[in-house]
Structure 1
Amino acid sequence: MRILVLANTPAHVHQYRHAVDRLERAGHDVLVLTREYACTTDLLDYFDMPYRVYGEHATEAYSKLQFARELGGQFRTIGTEAIRFGPDVVFGRGPYAAFAGTLTRTPVVLVLDDEPGDFNHTVSRPFADCILSPAVTRRDLGDAHYTFDGFKECAYLHPDVFEPNEDIREYLDVDRDEPYVLVRFNALDALHDTDIEGFRPEQRRDLIERLSESATVFVSDEGGEMDLRTLPARPYDLHPALIHDAMAEASLLVADTGTMATEAALLGTPAFRYRGTDDHEYGEFRELERAGLAEQFDEYDAVRDRSLEILADEGAAERWQERRREYVGDLVNLTDLLVDVARSRGELERLDRSTKRVLQPRSQSI
């Protein structure tokens, strides 16, 4: 079989990397089409995934004409590469995957989450043969839409998949018992981030200074704009492939970005998300809050004070790990599901009974 995967962000690479490895080891041909964005290609190289680049995600302001030209060029490259590869099934999300499947007359499997924007869903839904999403997804995308009990991050953070790197503290240069905090600042340059503001500059400084009184602070600044030389913090400068190992050992993650907060929560690390001006409701966060693994805050003072409270709580780490054991272990291993769906060429009726049991038609679950 030949499987084509559209992976446009670092999170997409993590989502598919174990499935790609297993499918290749089983003798299938896999190709990942990607774009230059953040550390996406760095991760693809690190995990030795077969890929080709179709374009880049530019963050600078474009005129409508410039944007249309760039988008047109990306679609042409995707079309050329897809036809050359000749897939039996296409995985991805949004219009790129839909276009590749339509052009090659190949079944399209979309793996979605409860993102706020409707654009990707609206454009790609008519071309999808199969849509998979977490059960917490609130929208119904039609007869081809099936849900599973878990999160898309379960493809790489499920206890059956994730193996922590025991040397991560050595790489970070922190002692065995030294508490440390990961602080993630979002670049807010994605389509669904338009008009959203996270931590303001003065809040970033205050947060770092206050957290540093209780723990070593590592800053992951997606926008790359912060100057940490005058602040009591260290840049998180390990290879991006090691971020989940660093999360798993951290005492706390504080972020104004969604994906890393979800990831930390699933690893059993207290995960606090500052919403800023983001007033969207996410089914994933609501569920993680219910499980006691994540917390969201509308006010800066609240997330700062709660962070300091957790760092002073000696029993917090064990409570969160116990919650992870009780909750995350019962979720669906998404890698297993992706591999089975790939082998079925996106035709769910061809799945065996055990795999079918983990899927629920969305129209019957709302």
Structure 2
Amino acid sequence: MKILFNIGHPAQVHLFKNLIRELERRGHQCKITTIAKDVSLYLLDAYGFEYEVVGEEKPTLATKAMELLRVESRLYRIARSFRPDLLVGGVGNVYVAHVGKLLRKPSIVFDDTEHAKIDHRLMDPFVSVICTPSCYRGDIGPKQVRYNGYHELAYLHPDRFTPNPAVLTELGLSEGDPFIIVRFVSWQASHDVGQHGIRDKVGLVKALERYGRVLITSEGVLPPKLQPYQIRVSPEKLHDLLYYARLYVGEGGTTASEAAVLGTPSIYVSSLVGTMGNFIELEETYGLLYSFTDANAALGKAIEILQNPASKEKWGTKRERLLEDKIDVTAFMVWFVENYPRSFTEMRKHPEVQYSCPRVPEDAS
């Protein structure tokens, strides 16, 4: 089978990296195209993937609309040459839906972002299948299938990820040294228009550093007072760092959920709180994450967690409970893609195949 993957966001490099490798190991031919956003190209290079750039991230809805046309034109030319049997994309991947329709080839999108309403309006009428976590708060209709996991468990499930403490040495840290990771985002994604997070960034960081070293990762340029806190560690090593951190606080939703599934106390600060099922489940069912629209309330919870020396151990126990409930998402994706369209038919008829069971059924591979 020939499969074209379009990467729209750095998180999708992580989401699909194990899937692509496993499909290629099984003899399938995969081609990667990508949007140049943040560290997407760096990550693809770091993991040794070959790819073609079809566009870049734009800051406004008007420029995004213009770029959409350019991306789809480039992607269409590449796809016509590659002649894929299937096109695959991540959250809101309008491009694979449109190009797949033009080529009369099926498209599969793995989506976990309910508030990406513009993307869904443009994508849903044309895409063949939308795979969402079982906790997704919305019924997309007959094209939707649900699986019992999160995007982050495609690359942070213990079957796929082992933390490497060498990253600590790079930053002058040792295991057990208290440090806190803070992330700020650019708010330029189409589903982030009009949203906001932490306004007093300097005040937050100064309050947190009383409890350990603060390490900042940021999509945009930081104020001069915060630039000394910005980390220079390679982006592909961020998950190792998250695993060993005492706490994560930030506007980055993906990083917040990554910290949570790694068993690190996680605090998400955004005006988007309450819109996404994965965050609600991680908070209300597993207690691994806290969400706030108010940064002062978030800081209060952060201090409460940091003042408790048993917090990290407590979160490790919570993580074990989550892993008992959830599946290895890469294993599910391999089965679903490799067996499409039969896999789609089976899941629509018998959603329990992946909706509730903790592992991929032996007869599903």
TM-score by length of 2: 0.90
Choose 330-339 or 122-131, whichever is displaced more: 122-131
Q: Deviations over 1:28-54 (max 9, x none)?
A: 111111111100111111111231110
Query: Would the aligned equivalents of 1:250 and 1:269 in 2 still touch at CA under 8 Å?
Result: yes
1:236 paired to 2:231: yes
Query: Would the aligned equivalents of 2:151 and 2:329 in 1 still touch at CA under 8 Å?
Result: yes
Query: Would the aligned equivalents of 1:2 and 1:28 in 2 still touch at CA under 8 Å?
Result: yes
1-side partners of 2:67 and 2:109: how far apart? 24
For residues 347 and 96 of structure 1, do their structure 2 counterparts lie closer, same or farther at Cα, with a shift above 3 Å needed? farther
Q: Deviations over 1:71-124 (max 9, x none)?
A: 322111010011111111111143101022112221111111133122222222
| Alignment length (residue pairs) | 352
TM-fit CA distance, 1:13: 0.8
Q: For residue 158 of structure 2, what is the aligned residue in structure 1?
A: 159
Query: Would the aligned equivalents of 2:131 and 2:144 in 1 still touch at CA under 8 Å?
Result: yes
Equivalences for residues 34-53 of structure 1 within 5 A: 34-53=34-53
1:22 paired to 2:16: no
2-side partners of 1:67 and 1:127: how far apart? 19
Equivalences for residues 256-271 of structure 1 within 5 A: 256-271=251-266
2-side partners of 1:142 and 1:338: how far apart? 20
Query: Would the aligned equivalents of 1:220 and 1:236 in 2 still touch at CA under 8 Å?
Result: yes
For residues 207 and 138 of structure 1, do their structure 2 counterparts lie closer, same or farther at Cα, with a shift above 3 Å needed? same
Equivalences for residues 87-236 of structure 1 within 5 A: 87-92=84-89, 93-200=92-199, 203-228=200-225, 234-236=229-231
* Contiguous gaps of at least 5 residues in structure 1: 361-366
For residues 18 and 356 of structure 1, do their structure 2 counterparts lie closer, same or farther at Cα, with a shift above 3 Å needed? farther
Query: Would the aligned equivalents of 1:348 and 1:356 in 2 still touch at CA under 8 Å?
Result: no
- Give the root-mean-square deviation of aligned CA atoms: 2.2
Query: Would the aligned equivalents of 1:130 and 1:346 in 2 still touch at CA under 8 Å?
Result: no
1:288 paired to 2:282: yes
For residues 160 and 126 of structure 1, do their structure 2 counterparts lie closer, same or farther at Cα, with a shift above 3 Å needed? same
2-side partners of 1:134 and 1:307: how far apart? 28
For residues 316 and 3 of structure 1, do their structure 2 counterparts lie closer, same or farther at Cα, with a shift above 3 Å needed? same
- Provide the identity percentage: 30
2-side partners of 1:13 and 1:141: how far apart? 25
SS of the equivalent of 1:6 reads strand
TM-fit CA distance, 1:351: 6.6
What one-letter code is carried by the residue in structure 2 that aligns with 1:74?
V
2-side partners of 1:355 and 1:19: how far apart? 22
Q: For residue 359 of structure 2, what is the aligned residue in structure 1?
A: none
Query: Would the aligned equivalents of 2:58 and 2:188 in 1 still touch at CA under 8 Å?
Result: no
2-side partners of 1:272 and 1:250: how far apart? 13
1-side partners of 2:341 and 2:130: how far apart? 9
SS of the equivalent of 1:3 reads strand
1:357 paired to 2:353: yes
Query: Would the aligned equivalents of 1:94 and 1:123 in 2 still touch at CA under 8 Å?
Result: no
Query: Would the aligned equivalents of 2:274 and 2:280 in 1 still touch at CA under 8 Å?
Result: no
Q: For residue 78 of structure 1, what is the aligned residue in structure 2?
A: 75
2-side partners of 1:311 and 1:272: how far apart? 12
Q: For residue 339 of structure 1, what is the aligned residue in structure 2?
A: 334
Query: Would the aligned equivalents of 1:108 and 1:128 in 2 still touch at CA under 8 Å?
Result: yes
For residues 161 and 95 of structure 1, do their structure 2 counterparts lie closer, same or farther at Cα, with a shift above 3 Å needed? same
Q: Deviations over 1:219-246 (max 9, x none)?
A: 11111233246x7x52121111111111
Query: Would the aligned equivalents of 1:116 and 1:192 in 2 still touch at CA under 8 Å?
Result: yes
1-side partners of 2:212 and 2:296: how far apart? 18
1-side partners of 2:208 and 2:267: how far apart? 13
For residues 298 and 20 of structure 1, do their structure 2 counterparts lie closer, same or farther at Cα, with a shift above 3 Å needed? same
